[in-house]
A and B are shown apart, each in its own frame.
Chain A
Amino acid sequence: MKRIIHLWLPFFATDRLTRPGAEFEAWRDRPLALSGRAGGAIRVFAANKAARRAGIAPGLAAADSTALYPGLKTIPHRPTETEAALARLAGWCGRWSPWTGPEGTDGIWIDATGCAHLFGGEHAMLAEIAARLEALGLAVRAGMADTPGAAWALSHCADESPSICPEGAVRQWLASFPIAALRLPDEAAEGLRRLGLRRMSDLMALPRAPLAARFGRDVALRLDQVLGRLPEPLSPIPFTEPMEARVAFIEPIGRTEDVAAAIRHLLDEVCERLSKSGLGARRLILSVYRVDGTVLAHDLGTNGPVRDPAHLMRLFAEILDTLDAGFGIEVMRLSIPVADPFTAAQSDVEARSDGASLPLLVDRLTRRLGPGRVFRPSPRPTHLPERAVTRAAPLSPSTGPWPTQRRPIRLLPRPRPVAVEDQDGRPLRLDRMDLVRTEGPERISAEWWRSPETSQRDYWRVEDSAGRRLWLFRTIDSQWFAHGFFG
């Protein structure tokens, strides 16, 4: 039989903002509400305990809540941040069981099957969990039972917290619980209430088939889940083995050769694990713990998944040059926070040349120049010459097709006004120099949604008596600009 813990954090959205050390700590015991746009109005999404006492509840219009309690502190509701914080907290709960996950917006599942004895029994375990979370400033109610549904019912509806339902006793234990303990949508619960079904026992007494037919599948499903007749899988946070390696030195090291050897050792270890998992590193962090208690962290990125220690070693070459060992290094740790699947095609590239390959070069250049500075030009389907080229990733597959019109080899970042004498739109002289050849016009119009005054241009390819070959254009209002050079 499984043993599941459900932790209900009724004020998680506000508690996490007012916990000790957080930004809104001062509002821990003063009314605080999170508000956001719902439908056409600004409404309260969450309110802390003090605000609830003042009568402010989620769903209330923000204006009404301020009227109820003028001193109310209101901050914007950020659901994704709350969700991420809850997921982090669920991960932190991994200290009690490897199988944990967030539930809804304010709950955490812990599958504690076979874990309780490690913490001195179920009572001691729940008490420790509750105490730890309360120390973090989070209000918590905990329930433990054989099924997730029953644990949820306990955390939400039991008289005391923590509340533990002994093994195999769900049916008796929950009989007196209200229907609300079933995790039902409001309408379904209201429907049951109107029929006089108030306690779980009322529902358990009914034959199952008519129950489903009468009240919908939800009710029967939830009841089956609570009683363990239907399994309810929990989705845990995937437990990933951190990709990292660590080396500690008996004597602190400081010589560059020793540091290089240590880095190489770490890389070998990590790369072996990467290749076992079919992954390649995209980002690496080297943490150097020095004798004087300081830690230097170096962050490296790659343009594609890499698991060749020699390749990565070269990326670390510049770090080695600048690394300040101080009075010595005690511990070095290499971790890979981002890794991507490694495909066969990439292995081929790696194998083709002996180390100093193109991916390595691209990684080194990108590291020095910054992201986006190494790129492949890629054509963009537009008529405007200055917008016709965009930047693609340096190792992306082939670009194209490229337009075939005659285009200059250099394009000015912005067209430069020039003095041109023309006759009926055909250029004759440029900067008072005779043009020996003129070819054109090629009319280029921008997309129809750009205004025609600025975007219809007649382009001319001209050559002056000094041998300069330019790409000129004349706008619709007879202004002349130089836009590029031909070879």
Chain B
Amino acid sequence: MSAATAQSLDSLRARIRGLERLRPVAWSVGLHPAIDPSLPGNGLAGACLHQIVAGAEDGAATAFAARIAGRLAERFNRPVLWAAAGGEDLYAPGLGLYGLSPQRLLQARASCPADLAWIMEEALKCPDLACVIAELPGLDLVAGRRLQLAAEAGGVTGLALHPFGSRIANAGTTRWRISGRPDGTWRVILDRCRNGLPGEWEIRP
């Protein structure tokens, strides 16, 4: 391969990276020693949108999101916004168990699910927050793209928490499926990870 070919290949690769926005991870937050090596930047990429999909019931996925949010809140010493539209209520006294202090929690209660993506987009642009979590029963590509851009603009990490059976597009930087196992552990499936490797783990909450 001639030098010229190699050079044009390199420039083409750079263009593709630009198109796919595969920029190097700006900063990341460690999740678990077993999982981190599979993730680009050795942790969950900050200032991005991540999707967390619940298995049969929401408890484990909620706790997984709380675990991530708790780490971000500690790291930046800032509050976390949790947006939901009703249903099985998030229960603040149970969050401390997963490292998210209820003291850091700010909740937004939408009257219809359509408001949730708007809340999340607005909140992601607010650099005073450590993390934004929205319980989204659905997410299409366009909305997901907007959320990703908002997260980049505000430097805030977004977690879209999808209940079991949500209709969702591959909008996030990563997509996780979380379910509980009868031995008290979580089954964590990383079934999509931009610039990283999918995988499956069993970890203790």
Contacts and interface: CB of A to CB of B under 8 A. Distances in A.
B108 A463 contact: no
Contact of B122 (A361, A389, A464, A469): A361
A404 interface: yes
Contacts of B20: none
B205 interface: yes
Binding site secondary structure of chain B: mixed
Nearest to A360: B126
Interface in B169-205: 179-184, 186-187, 205
A7 B116 CA distance: 59
B93 A469 contact: no
Interface string B104-134: 0111111100010011001101111100000
Nearest to B112: A369
A409 B95 contact: yes
Contacts of A389: 91-93
Contacts of A436: 182-183
A205 B154 CA distance: 83
B109 A410 contact: no
Contacts of B88: 410-413, 485
B91 A407 contact: yes
Interface residues of A, number: 53
A404 to B, nearest CB: 7
A92 interface: no
A358 B126 contact: yes
B111 A409 contact: no
Contact of B91 (A356, A361, A394, A409): A409
Interface string A342-375: 0000000000111011101110110011100111
B103 A400 contact: yes
A484 B102 CA distance: 17
A50 B181 CA distance: 85
A407 B94 contact: yes
Contacts of B123: 361, 365
B89 A374 contact: no
A225 B125 CA distance: 65
Given A356-B125, A358-B79, A466-B182, A411 B89 contact: yes
Given A409-B97, A487-B64, A377 B154 contact: no
B59 interface: yes
B126 A409 contact: no
B183 to A, nearest CB: 8
B94 A486 contact: yes
Interface string A454-487: 0000000001111111000000000000001111
A402 interface: yes
B105 A358 contact: no
Contacts of A412: 88-89
Contact of A485 (B58, B110, B118): B58
A487 B66 contact: yes
Contacts of B181: 467
B59 A377 contact: no
B9 interface: no
A437 interface: yes
Contacts of B179: 467
Given A409-B95, A413-B89, A468-B59, A356 B182 contact: no
Interface string B47-78: 00000000111111011101000000000000
A374 B93 contact: no
Given A404-B96, A406-B97, A467-B179, A353 B91 contact: no
A406 B187 CA distance: 22
B94 A376 contact: no
Contact of B108 (A360, A365, A379, A468): A365
A410 B90 contact: yes
B93 A368 contact: no
A411 B108 contact: no
Tell me which of B64, B126, B179 has the highest count of chain A C-beta atoms within 10 A of its own C-beta.
Answer: B126
A468 B91 CA distance: 17
A362 B110 CA distance: 13
Given A374-B106, A409-B94, A487-B60, A357 B128 contact: yes
B164 to A, nearest CB: 11
Given A402-B96, A467-B181, A484-B94, A369 B103 contact: no
A398 interface: yes
Nearest to A366: B108
Contacts of B154: 356
Interface string A372-386: 011111010000010
Contacts of B94: 406-411, 484, 486-487
A469 B55 CA distance: 12
Contacts of A40: none
A436 B127 CA distance: 44
Contacts of A357: 126, 128
A487 B127 contact: no
Contact of A376 (B55, B56, B107): B107
Nearest to A388: B93
A376 B62 contact: no
A376 B105 contact: yes
Given A409-B66, A410-B88, A399 B102 contact: yes
Give 4 closest A-B pairs by Cβ, nearest first: A487-B63, A485-B59, A467-B180, A377-B92
Interface of A: 352-354, 356-358, 360-362, 364-365, 368-370, 373-377, 379, 385, 388-389, 391, 394, 398-400, 402-413, 436-437, 463-469, 484-487
Interface of B: 55-60, 62-64, 66, 79, 81, 88-98, 101-103, 105-111, 115, 118-119, 122-123, 125-129, 154, 179-184, 186-187, 205
Given A373-B108, A385-B93, 17 more contacts: A361-B122, A361-B123, A368-B118, A368-B119, A369-B111, A377-B92, A379-B93, A409-B94, A409-B98, A410-B89, A410-B91, A411-B88, A411-B94, A467-B180, A467-B187, A486-B63, A487-B98
